[in-house]
Amino acid sequence: MTSRCYALDGQPYANFDRYIPCNATAAANGENTACCAPGDNCLSNGMCQSQLDNKRKANIFWRNGCTDPTWNDPACPKHCEGLDGPLTHGIYYCLSKDSYCCPTGPMNTNTIINTTCCNQPDLTFNAPDPVVYTIAQMNIVSTAMVSAQGIATTASGSIPTSAVPSSSSALTAFADPSSSPSSSTIPFAPSASPASSSSSDNNIGVKVGVPLGIALAIALAVIAWLVLKLRRKNASHYAYRGHGGLPETGMAANGQYPAQVKAYEVESPAAEAPNGDYMRAELGTGK
């Protein structure tokens, strides 16, 4: 078994990345598996469904490829064999348990529900209800397996709640390997991560975040204390030097101001007394 995907006639698809093996475990162990387009849901009945069709609950599915070029492995059912060629083929779910049909000719994927071929016995077949077990990813070795989700059908014939889609407006029920199949036109879906991985990531985030937060809080506290200390020091310095609205000129050596300083009185450094006090001198009247 190779990791390459083959059409129903045993021919490999032209582009290796067009269809990729679904079951990573099987591929790693040398076993066969069905192939789906990257980002599509891989179903337990060998079919594929796009994420878009799954979300809008469309009844559109696909048979795409297999890693077994002979298609004799049970992992790759030959749904719709002999219709419109050996390449990828669209499939409609007939809204009743285990019932599907193979449309012929143009296939309009804009229609959410289409059961036109379900009334033709030669086009219908039975297959197990689909169960999503993984999402097709480029790296088949590290593909994360998604826990199986059973698709329940009600008595009224509801559509399966899990499966895969195409975003192109109109496609044929069969496609050339060299052309883009319907499911390959949709955006790639994000890789599914196991729950344990998410839990582990959360634990790592907590272990890193808590010490970081504590260190940041301590740093902020130290900065605040230093700023407060600096402000107090500056405030004391300003008070000593005479700031705070009072003029510094005329301060006595003891740090006090004269009791009553009149507008026509100024201190003169030249008249400084030996004891450090200033002597007052009256300004001349100009006469």
3-state SS string for 96-160: CCCEEECCCCEECCCCCCCCHHHHCHHHEEECCCCCEEEECCCCCCCCCEEEEECCCCCCCCCCC
CA 50/CA 256 separation, integer angstroms: 90
Place of tokens 């059973």: 150
Q: Two tokens at 86?
A: 């050996």
pLDDT at 31: 92
Both 240 and 109 in a single domain? no
**pLDDT tens across 3-28, in order?**
789 999 899 987 656 888 998 888 88
pLDDT of residue 175: 41
pLDDT band at residue 284 under the 50/70/90 scheme: low
pLDDT of 266-283, one tens digit each? Answer: 444 545 555 555 555 554
DSSP state of 174: B
> Is 146 part of a structural domain of the chain?
yes
Give the mean model confidence (pLDDT) for residues 121-143.
80
Residue 246 binned pLDDT confidence (cut-offs 50, 70, 90): very low
Given this model, what pLDDT does residue 229 score? 79
Point out the least confidently predicted range of 4-8, 121-125, 253-257: 253-257
Q: Which helix (H) or strand (E) holds 213?
A: helix 195-241
User: Are 182 and 166 contacting, i.e. CB atoms less than 8 angstroms apart?
Assistant: yes
The reply to whether 165 and 47 lie within a common domain is yes
Sheet holding 65-66, edge to edge: 20-21, 34-36, 65-66
- pTM higher than 0.75, yes or no? no
Beta bridge partners of 49: 41
Domain boundary among 192, 222, 238: 192
Question: Do 187 and 202 fall into the same domain?
Answer: no
Q: Are 30 and 151 members of one domain?
A: yes
- Residues 187 and 48 grouped into a single domain: yes
Q: Are residues 134 and 215 in the same domain?
A: no
Do residues 168 and 243 both lie within one domain? no
Is 151 found in the same domain as 38? yes
Q: How many domains, the chain?
A: 2
Residue 271 lies in a domain: yes
SS3 category, 246: coil
212 and 188, same structural domain? no
Last residue of a domain, one of 192, 224, 258: 192
Q: Residue 94's domain spans which residues? A: 20-192
- Identify whether residues 180 and 166 lie together within a single domain: yes
Instruction: Answer whether residue 90 is part of any domain.
Output: yes
Least trusted range by pLDDT, from 68-77, 82-91, 195-204, 212-221: 195-204
pLDDT, mean of residues 174-187? 37
Give yes or no: residues 241 and 125 share one domain. no
pLDDT at 275: 57
Pair 131, 149: CB distance under 8 Å: yes
The answer on 161 and 35 residing in a single domain is yes
For residue 45, pLDDT over 90 is answered with: yes
By three-state DSSP, how is residue 11 classified?
coil
Q: Assess if residue 120 is contained within a domain.
A: yes
Query: In 10 A of CB 175, how many CB atoms?
Result: 24
Q: Which two tokens stand for residue 28?
A: 């790693």
Using the predicted structure, report yes or no on whether residue 149 has a pLDDT greater than 50.
no
